[in-house]
Structure 1
Amino acid sequence: MTNAQLKEELVAYSKSIGIDKIGFASADPFLTLKERLKTQQQLGYQSGFEEPDIDKRTEPERLLPYAKTIISIALAYPAKLENPPKGVKGKRRGIFCRASWGEDYHIVLNDRLQKLEAFIHERVPSAKMASMVDTGALSDRAVAERAGIGWSGKNCAIITPEFGSYVYLGDMITTIAFEPDTPIDDQCGTCNKCVDACPTGALIQGGQLDSNKCIAFLTQTKEMIPERYRKKIGNRLYGCDTCQVVCPENKGKGEEYQPEFTPDPEKVKPELLPLLSISNREFKEKYGKMAGSWRGKKPIQRNAVMALGHFREKGAVPKLQSLLTHDPRPVIRGSAAWSLGEIGESDGNHAALQAANEQEDDASVRGEIRQALMKLEKEVEHS
């Protein structure tokens, strides 16, 4: 069997196992990307979640000796929720971004890549392969762009003609020399909607992202969120879809997707208050198979606490006061103080904050409490 025939068979097989798009790229070094990553590093735009070794990210042969081809795969995920539950006063809800709907995409894409590996190995036993999804060293986006899956949009996502940017990406490096596919020309043109709509100005310019300002990154951190971004996060519990939602290329997209990504509305738009009391075991059982659970419950709970402040949900005050006084985690106590300040005087907020300030031994939490007290005092002055 020639490599051309194998490629043809592989493309047909990929469709039969639920891969929405497959592309082939050379395993040559990503020289342009290397320079861009160096600039990102120098400017301090990296999130810290990515592979720090730029050579590994841009030279496939460092990951698999004698690498000849990188196979890129894309799986589509949904953009719309059927019968979404509505948050109302007393039962406010948060939201997980679309990339966390359904089953964790790392598991699904790894399953597809393992099947592709087995298919190749059966036909070419001597072939070597190395697969990765998201957490691998390679830039999934750079590989997908080179492999003709889509173009790299100004929103820093791969945009496909068929599914818009609502796709997950995975890669496989192999020692087989397949004919590379042709990259797709950039279609963004003069459109700047994603850059203009970014709530925190994280999209510095088309295709350049300051990860430290990005809400998708901020919702995954475990520390206190900088005050200037708190109101902008709104009721987001994990991730952010703004730059995808405003993209004209995504209009009418997101209706075709793999069944594993079918969302459970109650999981992706959960009530906020119950999240504040959920145990580790309950969290794992309910959310453990979602991509948004990978950092554990603490960031989700912190975001839920802030979302209640965003809604100025007075019904949450007793629970927030309890967290402020009794929760062992400074980040949760500090976030509760901020939310109580946003909600305003209700159910003895001022007294609760003063009492908490007297017993608090963490300097950063005391700072949050003092800020909240100042907000309440200003509210009284202007009432």
Structure 2
Amino acid sequence: MDIIKLKKELIAYSKEIGIDKIGFTTADTFSELKNRLIRQQELNYQSGFEEPNIEKRVTPSLLLDNPQSIISIALAYPAKMSIRVESKKGERRGIFSRASWGMDYHHILRDRLKKLEEFLLTKVPGARLKSMVDTGELSDRAVAERAGIGWSGKNCAIITPEFGSYVYLGEMITSIPFEPDTPLEDQCGTCTRCIEACPTGALVQGGQINASSCISFLTQTKELIPNEFRDKIGNRVYGCDSCQTACPVNKGKNFHFHIEMEPNPEISKPLLTPMLKMSNREFKNQFGHVSGAWRGKKPIQRNAIIALAHFKDETAIPELTDVLQNEASPVLKGTAAWALGKIGGKNAFAALEKAKKHETDIEVQKEIEKGLRFFK
């Protein structure tokens, strides 16, 4: 088997099927990453969404018997909407982060990786392959960095010279001994714009993030958002792009290579108030195909309530009152109580006073009191 020829053929094929960048690395243990992950664990900086077994995250041989190489792929996604919608009075809109525009990227990358697998198996029957995207054990960023896709930026994202950090990543462990590519040198230099732009200070220092205070993480939780972060969330209903938009490498980067990634502005920048009354079926029909829907309806609704409070949208008071009075979820009820206080006005005050007399849930009671304190 001519490995050099096969690598060239695979690179050429990857371009044919819509892979924007491909790189190769060894299947060696990610020793440096292991040390970082242990430190993150010690500091309690993890999000809880990661693979809990650190050894699996850094040891490819635990995932595939006798691995010889790892292939990393990157697909560029849009940074700007081709069609824009603007918020109007009484029609306030939220925003999904760019990584949740268009079709769920997990499906897109799995499609490309499956095609690569099929191609390799025609060339090397019996080859052992294991592909993964985001939810797999390995760190997509660590693989991409070592495979020369880009360097690991201070914003904890892979930054490519061609597409900036607006790329989705996936990888494939193989039993084929491909020659590894050369990693790129770090090009962040002394720039700290991403750290300065982080709304909550979650970027503790270059390359280190406290996930528990990252807005992208917070918008995916299912609990009440801690008080100190609510005003920071703004109108984000899923994710956060502040550290990306602040990056000078990303300036002017906007690629529309993949039709599946094109955002529908009515979905990527949705009207907030209608989201509060959505049934599970309606939510699935409208948002089920985007990656930001993976945690279900209620976290998005909670974030929409916070966004309405951010806008101080008085037209939303009837809907927020209805949530406070009739919603089953204590998280939504409590967030609505806080939002009513934040928005203010006699109708909001009356709704809170009424709820105070009848509410039995302790956490919701606390949020009602928070709401009422805005009037003092």
> Which TM-score band applies after superposition, normalised by the shorter structure?
over 0.9
User: 1:49 is matched with which residue?
Assistant: 49
Contiguous gaps of at least 5 residues in structure 1: 379-383
Between 1:1-10 and 1:12-21, the stretch displaced more is 1-10
| 1:189 matches 2:189 | yes
Q: Which letter does structure 2 place at the counterpart of 1:43? A: L
AA at the equivalent of 1:371? K
Residue pair 2:349, 2:372 contacting (<8 A) in 1 also: yes
Alpha-carbon distance in 2 for matches of 1:153, 1:40: 17
Q: Which consecutive segments of 4 or more residues in structure 1 shift more than 4 A? A: none
User: Tell me, what secondary structure is at the counterpart of 2:224?
Assistant: coil
Distance (whole Å) between structure 2 residues aligned to residue 9 and residue 51 of structure 1: 33
Aligned residue runs from structure 1 range 26-37, under 5 A:
26-37=26-37
Deviation at 1:74, TM superposition (A): 0.2
Q: Is the 8 A contact 2:256 2:262 kept in 1?
A: no
Residue of structure 2 in register with 1:143 after alignment: 143
Amino acid at match of 1:300: I
Match of 1:163 in 2: 163
Specify the alignment match of 2:122 in structure 1.
Answer: 122
Distance in 2, matches of 1:141 and 1:46, equals 16
Aligned-residue offset at 1:81? 1.1
User: Which 5+ residue runs of structure 2 have no aligned equivalent?
Assistant: none
Q: Residue 374 of structure 1 aligns to which amino acid in structure 2?
A: R
Q: Which residue of 2 aligns with 1:371?
A: 370
1:72/1:147 contact within 8 Å kept:
yes
Query: 1:307 is matched with which residue?
Result: 307
User: Which residue number corresponds to residue 93 of structure 1?
Assistant: 93
What is the SS of the residue equivalent to 1:135? coil
The one-letter code matched in structure 2 to 1:219 is T
Question: Post-superposition shift, 1:195?
Answer: 0.3
SS at match of 2:374: helix
The separation in 2 between residues aligned to 1:247 and 1:375, in whole angstroms, is 37
Partner residue in 2 for 1:254? 254
Deviation at 1:350, TM superposition (A): 1.8
Matched residue type, 2:294: W
Cα deviation, residue 346, structure 1: 3.5
For residues 248-273 of structure 1, what are the alpha-carbon distances to aligned partners after superposition, in whole Å with 9 as ceiling and x for unaligned?
00011123432210110111011101
Indicate the residue corresponding to 2:229 in structure 1.
229
Counterpart residue type for residue 352 of structure 1:
A
Check whether the contact 1:219–1:300 (CA below 8 A) recurs between aligned residues.
yes
TM-align CA RMSD:
0.7
TM (norm. structure 1) is 0.97
TM-score, with length taken from structure 2: 0.99
Q: Indicate the residue corresponding to 2:338 in structure 1.
A: 338
In the alignment, the residues of structure 2 paired with residue 344 and residue 352 of structure 1 have an alpha-carbon distance, to the nearest angstrom, of: 11
Matched AA of 1:208: Q
Q: Contact 1:317 / 1:346 at 8 angstroms: preserved in 2?
A: no
Counterparts of 1:257 and 1:241, CA distance in 2 = 20
SS at match of 2:131: strand
Deviations 1:334-377 (A, max 9, x none): 00001001001242x2221121112111111100101111211x
Which residue identity lines up with residue 308 of structure 1 in the other structure?
Answer: L
Matches within 5 A, 1:202-281: 202-281=202-281
Is the 1:156–1:208 Cα contact (8 Å) retained in structure 2?
yes
- Does the 8 Å contact 2:220/2:295 carry over to 1? yes
> Could you tell me how far apart the structure 2 residues matched to 1:83 and 1:50 are?
35
Secondary structure of 1:276's counterpart equals: helix
Look up the SS of the partner of 1:172 in the other structure: strand
Measured against aligned partners, the alpha-carbon deviations of 1:40-69 in whole angstroms (never above 9, x if no partner) come to 000000000000100000000000010110
Deviation at residue 212 of structure 1 after TM alignment: 0.3
Quick one: distance in 2 between partners of 1:15 and 1:30?
Answer: 28
- 1:297 aligns with 297
Q: 1:44 to 1:273 in 2, by over 3 A?
A: same
Pairs aligned (count):
376
Distance 1:235 1:27 in 2: 42
SS of residue matched to 1:99? helix
Contact 1:314–1:346 (CA under 8 A) maintained in structure 2: no
CA shift digits 1:239-295 (9 cap, x unpaired):
000000010000111234322101101110111011111111111111111011111
**Distance (whole Å) between structure 2 residues aligned to residue 135 and residue 61 of structure 1:** 18
- Indicate conservation of the 8 Å contact 1:164/1:254, yes or no: no
